[in-house]
Structure formats: structure tokens, C-alpha cells
Amino acid sequence: MRARNWLLGGIAACALMASAGCAGMNDPGAGAKPAAAEAKAGPQMMECVAPDKLSTQVAPEAQLESFQCYLGDFQKTPSLHFKIALKNTTSQPQRYRVNIFLDNGKAVGGLIPPVVKKGLVDPGTSVSFVYPVKGLTEKPAEINLIVKTVSE
């Protein structure tokens, strides 16, 4: 008797889940995520700080092509992202160390390219990288950007 009750209960549960899963099948818009359209368009770039509040120290071997910000998720947490684009202005392949210091004491940075297995930044080539600051949702008042070369 108990086995039959378990079997009937299981069948009823499966029937409920199957009908719930098909509930929106007739509506072509059901299940569509509104964020999907935004993801295709890309992040909304903005100026990080006023030009007079951005302090830059860029090595002569690099040219800062752009420095922009956008809000997006990083590890499921709303975060401010810094996108930096650099150009190698030398006749030799280079690797760069980027440091971004914010007025609130936070800092991010890393190496461009992050891994040298595929090679360094070739002469005359531009590269970009994104550095997220997890949990920061407001633009800082001041930024200190430092770009240096890294010797092998």
C-alpha cells in the first residue's frame, strides 16, 4: 500500500512539474530575458572622472588610447569596471603593468597581456583590458592611473 502511494505521489508531482514547465510555451515572449538585449548592445561607457581629476603616469613605451568606465556585474555583484586601451609605441614587443588607484583607498590593476604564452604586445599594436572593482557602484572623485613596462 505504501509503495503504491509513493508511486501515485511521484506521478502526480511529475505531472505538475511538466504542466508548469509548459505554462508559457504558447507565449513566444515568455522566458525572454530583457537583459539579453542590453548584453548584445554592450555596456554603457561613461567618463570615469573629470579630466582634471585623472592623474596619469604613462611610460614612454606606451600611449594611453582610452580610459573608460561602465557599471556591470562581476561575480554576480554590481561593480564599476575600468576599461583601458594602450598602444605599444616602441619597436620592441612590450608587457605593461597597470595600476588604478581610487580616492577611496581601493585599487585594481594587473598585467597586459595577463599571460605571455601567446606573446607580448607587438610594436604599433593596441590592446585593451577591463579591471572590475567588485562592489563599487559609484564613480570615484579622483583616479591615479599608472602604466609601467615590465621586463622579462
d(CA 72, CA 44): 9
Question: What is the per-residue pLDDT across 9-66, written as a single tens digit (0 to 9) for each?
Answer: 555 544 444 444 433 333 333 443 344 444 455 678 888 888 899 999 999 999 999 9
Q: Is the pTM of this model over 0.85?
A: no
Exposure string of 115-150, with b = 16+ CB inside 10 Å and e = fewer, is eeeeebbeeeeebebebbbeebeebbeebbbbbebe
Question: What is the per-residue pLDDT across 54-108, written as a single tens digit (0 to 9) for each?
Answer: 999 999 999 999 999 999 998 998 999 999 999 999 999 999 999 999 999 999 9
- The 3-state DSSP class for residue 23 equals coil
